[in-house]
Structure 1
Amino acid sequence: MSGPARPAPAPSPYDGRPCRLSPRVLLIDPIRTLPSLLLPLAGVLLAGGFSPRSFGWAAIGVAGAVVYAVVRWATFTYRVHGDRLELIRAFVGRSVRTIPLDRIRGVDVTASPLHRLLGLAVLKLDTGAGGDEQEGVLDAVTAGEAETLRGVLLARRAPGAGITTEAAARATAGVTGPPERLHARVPPSWLRYGPLSGAYLLTPFALVAGAAGFVLQWGEEFGLTGRTARRAAGWVWEHPTLLFAVVVLLVLAMPVAGGLTYAIFNWNFTLRSREGYLVAERGLLTRRAVSLERRRIRGYELADGLVERWAGVVRLWALVTGLGDSATRGQLLPVTPRVYAERVAAEVAGPVPGPLRAHPRPALRRRLFRAVAPWLVVAAVALALGWRVVAVAALVPAVLGVPLAFDRYRSLGHGYDGLRLSVRSGSLRRAQAVVERPALVGWRIRQTVFQRRSGLVTVVAGVGAGSGGYAAVDAGEDQGVAFAAEVTPDWITPFLARPPSSRPPAS
């Protein structure tokens, strides 16, 4: 029996009409190829002794890059044809890549400094295929055309995608729809939270490591031999004061670099609701707008590091089905105050279930043992061998591991409010996942030999979004089974010999 007829798609100026990328992209392509041409051109000039002939060959190489860019632009077209997008490349042969519009999970609009200078943007389609090679990219179209295309592609999807026929008609006709709802805007004053993130703090050392890697890989091209490197290392070793000063400068630069890196990636971060989608836009130099289909959002994750937790700030990600590169595309908020992040999360996906239920004391003993015992063994072996310095050094992380173990234990917890379940664990990176009940696809209850001796289990909720599974680590045996039975009684209760114990007191 056939279902109801699909409504005809709203007319679009792109229907069946082949379109080209903006010709202004020809000003960008040669510049982008310069880094790959730099070393070959330098080699040609050095080999030719900077003679007129060597400059001629270098000019031919640059001209070849320009011609290649022109040919690529002239032989590429795209068109929206009914319920699909076609990317057509016709040079020696003809290749047509077809992307069904109902496969499009989101559309990213990115503009680098060069693109912004020329009024261009890059359109990237997320089809949930799990790799960049399977996604469509239009590099580049005008900024206005990018916004129009995004509206057309998202609005022309199959019914049930969260977009109405009226919205499709507005998008294709260029008519402004209902006002957007602004969920979050990160003010410049919150740049001070950037240095609290470990990834941003290590930027100076990452730059030094990158420079060292470049020298090791390309040093010989510039006359830097192994002998030169050894002499330089020996000179630095003979001047420890200079080496110490460099290390101090790098450490002092960490908070500054952290704030700058935070600003570069998250400047003017905004989160809006627009026609069934959440649109997150951010970036100082390169602006990026990511669209997430709201009906595919299955929950969210709040994460914080040790220092971030002391400052009361967290990061927020959406758990989205079929989302590629979820670590960056799924970001709903950068480092922001926890109260603010929880308010935004409640608006877009529901409140945080709470309070969470504490896990039994054997979970604390396991964390104390794993944090302290290995270092005590190292210290004992070193002391037996007469290495007192090593023994004392091994005792330092053993002592520091005690408060870390207590913090890891306090982070454990799980909860369920009748609509959403939540699990939390971790210390150096503590993550709390909140998942909608309908998103669950199964449970996995595992128990190692050591957990069995302590009466503990790990309960993993299988979810078709995010990382695919979220665990209540080291819960009590009855507690873990009771949690699963509470969330999905029809799945678990038939397998129980007796009803699970009542829920433990909240932490």
Structure 2
Amino acid sequence: MTGSDTGRTSPGNTAPGNPAPDPPGADWRRLPALMLAVAPATALLKLAPALIVLVLFGAGRGSGVQLWIAAGIAVFAVGAGVIRWRTTRYRITPERVELHSGLLNRQRRAVPRDRIRTVDLTAPLLHRLAGLSVVRVGSGQSGKESGLDLDAVTTPEAERLRRELLARPAPATGSVPDPTGNVPRDTAPAAPAAAAPEPGAEPVPGAEPVSGVELDRLDWSSLRYAPLTVSSLAAIGAVAGAGWNLLREADVDPRTLPGADVVAGELSTAPIWASVLVGAAALLVLMVAGSVVLFVERWWAFALTREPDGTLRVRRGLLTRRSLSVSERRLRGVTVTEPLLVRTLGLGAQAGALTVGLARAEGEQGGGSSGALGPPVARDHAHAVAAAAARATHRVTDGPLRAHPRSARTRRLTRAVLPALLLPAAAGVLLAAGGPAWPLPLAAVPVLVAVPLGLDRYRALGHHLDDDYLVARQGSLVRTTAALRRDGVIGWRIRQSRFQRRAGVVTLEATTAAGGGSVVVLDVAPADAVALVAAVTPEAVTPFRS
């Protein structure tokens, strides 16, 4: 699918091993000249912390070496941007998308158009100011060579490329249903004749662009879920760590900041519990405020639409605008995830898509998990969004599920409690050796938490099979309900460990080409597992019945 070489090429050459002549009209194009300013500015912005430290370090010591180093970095960034613009070109043919780039290390990349799964339009702040967008073409394979990036093209050109690359072939007479998707192969959902242009057709000058059907948009009440997501809290920790490292590199002691000595003096005279309480409260306020800011930046102007070209499109972002389009032909199902804090304190959830070709790198876990269809919202709303995205007539992820055997509850409790018992055991050994007694009651807390956690994990287990979907649910810290289309199942895997054999349960995996590669039905009775396989793919068990 992709390739690279270090040889010299000409604009008329095709990918290695494919000497077919260039089709008419497939001319090579260069990136806009605005990239001569945007590319160096972007590089300097990424290097800004290091450059600031160099300038401050050099100015504070009366030496000009650091200043010369900073100037050299700036000149190098500008030169690299010019070389990149001069050596990068791309073209789109009826068969593939090609990108040639590089001076010393010449690279050629080509993605066949029939393998294109996603088109992601991203516009960081500097690109937006210049009217540019980055076009990421995804082929659904992992690794750096899974697609190609056009960084960058004008925003109108990016939108035109999105429509062109995701356009479906013209409907064929007597088309048959797609065995691995929920939309008939080579056909589009019915739409009024005047509503959608022909796939790949050029827009009519002066005509208004065709808008999609809106499935969801941002509700600011969802802000209450922002501090409850682990990814937001982790991001705040990363930002705080980077800020601390920057202060250390700049030889700045936080204790010398204005007012720091007063606060330190007050805390030094206060009881230890008061100091801990103040520190915890300050940290909590910082994390909540930071998570809200990250939520706003990530989900600003969010909208989920079904486009006339047969794609689901997610648009969002404040500083960096992002638009991810996924062909509905690649949709295999939907998910609803419920993190523990969001589920317990806010009754919230997040809808997602099981889509062929949507790599994990093209989404953000938690703040948009892989295939996320929106931010965390109210639980009922998340189930409704998932059903709308799947074109389901009912909430497939919100129905009653078949309970799993009681032996599965024993396994959940055992797996939760046994690791927690290690802490009381260690505290007991320490006490027997003459150590303090206070760690023992603290070590008992995880045991008390492990019991309800194990019971909650068992209550989450369940599965259901209807005419269209296999639904499976599991998890406690992050409870996930996955609804996989029956025609999206491409195989089965049944696993049973030694402990599962003693408990009389198995783990059934319905393999698919979407999401994580499988939907897991955990600790199910063997008879139920066989019944599911026989109901979804009867041909898989026919040899064993004959």
Q: Do Structure 1 and Structure 2 share a fold, with TM-score over 0.5?
A: yes
Q: Provide the C-alpha distance between the structure 1 equivalents of 2:81 and 2:500, rounded to a whole number of angstroms.
A: 61
| Pairing partner for 2:198 from 167, 174, 177 | 167
Q: Could you tell which deviates more after superposition, 160-169 or 400-409?
A: 160-169
Output aligned runs, 1:287-306, within 5 Å: 287-306=321-340
Q: Does 1:69 align with 2:81?
A: yes
Q: Output one character per residue of 1:305-336: Cα deviation in whole Å (capped at 9) or x when no partner.
A: 12222322111111111322254461112101
Q: Provide the C-alpha distance between the structure 2 equivalents of 1:364 and 1:382, rounded to a whole number of angstroms.
A: 28
Tell me, yes or no, if the aligned pair for 1:106 and 1:293 is still in contact at 8 Å. yes
Q: Does 1:80 align with 2:95?
A: no
Point out where structure 1 has 5 or more consecutive residues left out of the alignment: 1-13, 498-507
Relative distance call for 1:50 and 1:84 in structure 2 (3 A) is: farther
Q: Provide the C-alpha distance between the structure 1 equivalents of 2:277 and 2:56, rounded to a whole number of angstroms.
A: 40
Tell me, yes or no, if the aligned pair for 1:80 and 1:86 is still in contact at 8 Å. yes
Q: Provide the C-alpha distance between the structure 1 equivalents of 2:111 and 2:378, rounded to a whole number of angstroms.
A: 40
Tell me, yes or no, if the aligned pair for 2:420 and 2:450 is still in contact at 8 Å. no
Tell me, yes or no, if the aligned pair for 2:333 and 2:484 is still in contact at 8 Å. yes
Amino acid at match of 2:47: S
Relative distance call for 1:467 and 1:50 in structure 2 (3 A) is: same
Relative distance call for 1:155 and 1:33 in structure 2 (3 A) is: same
Q: Could you tell which deviates more after superposition, 286-295 or 453-462?
A: 453-462
Amino acid at match of 2:447: A
Q: Does 1:330 align with 2:371?
A: yes
| Pairing partner for 1:352 from 396, 400, 405 | 396
Relative distance call for 1:358 and 1:137 in structure 2 (3 A) is: same
Tell me, yes or no, if the aligned pair for 1:123 and 1:146 is still in contact at 8 Å. yes
Q: Does 1:20 align with 2:30?
A: yes
Relative distance call for 1:390 and 1:101 in structure 2 (3 A) is: same
Q: Provide the C-alpha distance between the structure 2 equivalents of 1:207 and 1:451, rounded to a whole number of angstroms.
A: 43
Sequence identity, in percent?
A: 37
Q: Provide the C-alpha distance between the structure 2 equivalents of 1:189 and 1:423, rounded to a whole number of angstroms.
A: 29
Output aligned runs, 1:159-198, within 5 Å: 167-171=198-202, 179-198=211-230
Q: Does 1:458 align with 2:458?
A: no
3-state secondary structure, aligned to 2:27: coil
TM-score with structure 1 length normalisation?
A: 0.83
Tell me, yes or no, if the aligned pair for 2:232 and 2:291 is still in contact at 8 Å. yes
Could you tell me which residue of structure 2 aligns to residue 319 of structure 1?
354
TM-score with structure 2 length normalisation?
A: 0.77
Aligned-residue offset at 1:115 = 1.4
Relative distance call for 1:198 and 1:187 in structure 2 (3 A) is: same
Amino acid at match of 1:428: L
Tell me, yes or no, if the aligned pair for 2:118 and 2:357 is still in contact at 8 Å. no
Q: Does 1:280 align with 2:290?
A: no
Aligned-residue offset at 1:492 = 2.6
Aligned-residue offset at 1:79 = 2.0
Q: Does 1:471 align with 2:481?
A: no
3-state secondary structure, aligned to 2:79: helix
Output aligned runs, 1:408-487, within 5 Å: 408-487=457-536
Q: Could you tell which deviates more after superposition, 267-276 or 206-215?
A: 206-215
Q: Could you tell which deviates more after superposition, 313-322 or 18-27?
A: 18-27
Tell me, yes or no, if the aligned pair for 1:202 and 1:258 is still in contact at 8 Å. no
Could you tell me which residue of structure 2 aligns to residue 36 of structure 1?
47
3-state secondary structure, aligned to 1:333: coil
Q: Provide the C-alpha distance between the structure 2 equivalents of 1:213 and 1:45, rounded to a whole number of angstroms.
A: 15
Could you tell me which residue of structure 1 aligns to residue 420 of structure 2?
375
3-state secondary structure, aligned to 2:400: coil
| Pairing partner for 1:365 from 410, 432, 454 | 410
Tell me, yes or no, if the aligned pair for 2:510 and 2:520 is still in contact at 8 Å. yes
Relative distance call for 1:94 and 1:459 in structure 2 (3 A) is: closer
Could you tell me which residue of structure 1 aligns to residue 456 of structure 2?
407
Q: Could you tell which deviates more after superposition, 33-42 or 443-452?
A: 33-42
Relative distance call for 1:24 and 1:243 in structure 2 (3 A) is: farther
Relative distance call for 1:15 and 1:317 in structure 2 (3 A) is: farther
The structure where helix makes up a greater share of residues is 1
Q: Could you tell which deviates more after superposition, 329-338 or 148-157?
A: 148-157
Could you tell me which residue of structure 2 aligns to residue 139 of structure 1?
151
Q: Provide the C-alpha distance between the structure 2 equivalents of 1:331 and 1:362, rounded to a whole number of angstroms.
A: 34
Q: Provide the C-alpha distance between the structure 1 equivalents of 2:538 and 2:94, rounded to a whole number of angstroms.
A: 45
Q: Provide the C-alpha distance between the structure 1 equivalents of 2:95 and 2:462, rounded to a whole number of angstroms.
A: 46
Q: Provide the C-alpha distance between the structure 1 equivalents of 2:426 and 2:119, rounded to a whole number of angstroms.
A: 58
Amino acid at match of 2:97: L
Point out where structure 2 has 5 or more consecutive residues left out of the alignment: 1-23, 172-184, 190-195, 365-369
Output aligned runs, 1:212-291, within 5 Å: 212-213=244-245, 219=248, 222=250, 239=268, 245-274=278-307, 275-291=309-325
Q: Output one character per residue of 1:1-23: Cα deviation in whole Å (capped at 9) or x when no partner.
A: xxxxxxxxxxxxx9323322122
* Residues paired across the two proteins, number: 473
Q: Provide the C-alpha distance between the structure 2 equivalents of 1:104 and 1:123, rounded to a whole number of angstroms.
A: 13
Q: Could you tell which deviates more after superposition, 34-43 or 24-33?
A: 34-43
Q: Could you tell which deviates more after superposition, 305-314 or 30-39?
A: 30-39
Q: Provide the C-alpha distance between the structure 1 equivalents of 2:506 and 2:464, rounded to a whole number of angstroms.
A: 16
Relative distance call for 1:106 and 1:392 in structure 2 (3 A) is: same
Q: Output one character per residue of 1:378-435: Cα deviation in whole Å (capped at 9) or x when no partner.
A: 4246435525433322211111111111111110000001211011001111001110
Could you tell me which residue of structure 2 aligns to residue 397 of structure 1?
446
Tell me, yes or no, if the aligned pair for 2:170 and 2:187 is still in contact at 8 Å. no
Aligned-residue offset at 1:299 = 0.4
Relative distance call for 1:84 and 1:476 in structure 2 (3 A) is: closer
Tell me, yes or no, if the aligned pair for 2:58 and 2:65 is still in contact at 8 Å. no
Q: Output one character per residue of 1:326-385: Cα deviation in whole Å (capped at 9) or x when no partner.
A: 544611121011222222222221241631101121111222222223434542464355
Tell me, yes or no, if the aligned pair for 1:267 and 1:282 is still in contact at 8 Å. yes
Q: Provide the C-alpha distance between the structure 1 equivalents of 2:485 and 2:108, rounded to a whole number of angstroms.
A: 39
3-state secondary structure, aligned to 1:168: coil
Relative distance call for 1:250 and 1:38 in structure 2 (3 A) is: closer
Q: Provide the C-alpha distance between the structure 2 equivalents of 1:62 and 1:400, rounded to a whole number of angstroms.
A: 55
Amino acid at match of 2:507: T
3-state secondary structure, aligned to 2:467: coil
Amino acid at match of 2:201: R
Q: Provide the C-alpha distance between the structure 2 equivalents of 1:291 and 1:469, rounded to a whole number of angstroms.
A: 23
Q: Could you tell which deviates more after superposition, 53-62 or 193-202?
A: 53-62
3-state secondary structure, aligned to 2:459: helix
Aligned-residue offset at 1:284 = 1.5
Could you tell me which residue of structure 2 aligns to residue 210 of structure 1?
242
Tell me, yes or no, if the aligned pair for 2:123 and 2:134 is still in contact at 8 Å. yes
Aligned-residue offset at 1:210 = 3.0
Q: Provide the C-alpha distance between the structure 2 equivalents of 1:211 and 1:456, rounded to a whole number of angstroms.
A: 50
Relative distance call for 1:169 and 1:333 in structure 2 (3 A) is: closer
Aligned-residue offset at 1:441 = 1.6
